[in-house]
Amino acid sequence: MDNGTQLSTDRETPLIKVSHLGITFGGLRAVNDFNLEIGENELVGLIGPNGAGKTTVFNLLTGVYVPTEGDYFFLGQRMNGKKTHQVVQSGIARTFQNIRLFKQMTVLENVKVAMNPYYSYNLFSALFRTGKYWESEAENEAKARELLEIFNLQDKADYIAENLPYGQQRKLEIARALATGMKLLLLDEPAAGMNPTETAELLECIRIIRQRFNISILLIEHDMSLVMKICEHIIVIDYGTTIARGTPEEISSDPKVIAAYLGEED
Task: List residues binding other proteins (CB under 8 A).
Answer: 62, 64, 83-85, 88-89, 93-94, 96, 100-105, 109, 112-114, 116-117, 119, 121, 123, 126-131, 133-135, 138, 176-177, 179-180
91/177 Cα distance (integer angstroms)? 10
Burial (0-12, 13-18, 19+ Cβ within 10 Å), 76? exposed
Write down how long the chain is.
Answer: 266
* Cβ distance to other proteins smaller for residue 121 or 239: 121
167: left (phi over 0), alpha (psi -120 to 50) or beta: alpha
Q: How far is the CB of 212 from other proteins (least distance, A)?
A: 20
169/41 Cα distance (integer angstroms)? 25
* Cβ distance to other proteins smaller for residue 94 or 233: 94
Q: How far is the CB of 261 from other proteins (least distance, A)?
A: 29
Q: How far is the CB of 127 from other proteins (least distance, A)?
A: 5
Q: Which amino acid is at 59?
A: N
3/7 Cα distance (integer angstroms)? 6
* Cβ distance to other proteins smaller for residue 177 or 251: 177
* Cβ distance to other proteins smaller for residue 129 or 256: 129
Nearest to residue 257, comparing CAs of 31, 49, 37?
A: 49
* Cβ distance to other proteins smaller for residue 141 or 254: 141
* Cβ distance to other proteins smaller for residue 135 or 249: 135
Q: How far is the CB of 126 from other proteins (least distance, A)?
A: 3
Cβ contacts of 117-124, under 8 Å, gap ≥ 24: 117/89, 117/180, 117/181, 118/143, 118/181
Packing angle of the helix pair 196-213, 166-179 (nearest 10 deg): 10
* Cβ distance to other proteins smaller for residue 1 or 127: 127
Q: How far is the CB of 119 from other proteins (least distance, A)?
A: 4
Strands 69-74 and 77-78: antiparallel
Q: How far is the CB of 85 from other proteins (least distance, A)?
A: 5
Q: How far is the CB of 159 from other proteins (least distance, A)?
A: 15
Q: How far is the CB of 61 from other proteins (least distance, A)?
A: 11
* Cβ distance to other proteins smaller for residue 159 or 239: 159
13/216 Cα distance (integer angstroms)? 14
96/163 Cα distance (integer angstroms)? 18
